[in-house]
Amino acid sequence: MFVICPEHAAMFREHGWTKQRLRDYMFEAVRKTAGELRRGETTPLVHQSDPAAEIGKWSSPAAIVLLVAGGEAGRYSAVLGPCTGMGYQIVSREVPSR
């Protein structure tokens, strides 16, 4: 889950980026070869792949969870784990503003 601060979200919007465009970009950009991932990765996909094969972080752009949250404390966004590939399910609820 990627928590994007309001300032970063505003920068994306100002440049015409939607959440879907960001998901698509991240899906294509975050890849490593199986050989690189074998140093710390334990999934069967990585071990069964050719060392030169590129492996993506997610199964699809839809698997990337993005949300905008936070205040005006500065440009700070965060990644929260664990990832969905570990069998966890992300649950969210809207918190009404006061």
Confidence of residue 9 (pLDDT cuts 50, 70, 90): very high
Q: What is the mean pLDDT of the chain?
A: 84
Question: What pTM does this model have?
Answer: 0.71
- Write out pLDDT tens, residues 11-42: 999 999 999 999 999 999 988 899 988 887 66
Torsion of Cα atoms, 44 then 50 then 52 then 58, to 10°: -30
Q: Give the three-class secondary structure for 91.
A: coil
CA 65, CA 76: separation in Å to the nearest integer?
17
Q: Is 2 within 8 Å of 64 (Cβ atoms)?
A: yes
**What is the pLDDT averaged over residues 64-71?**
86
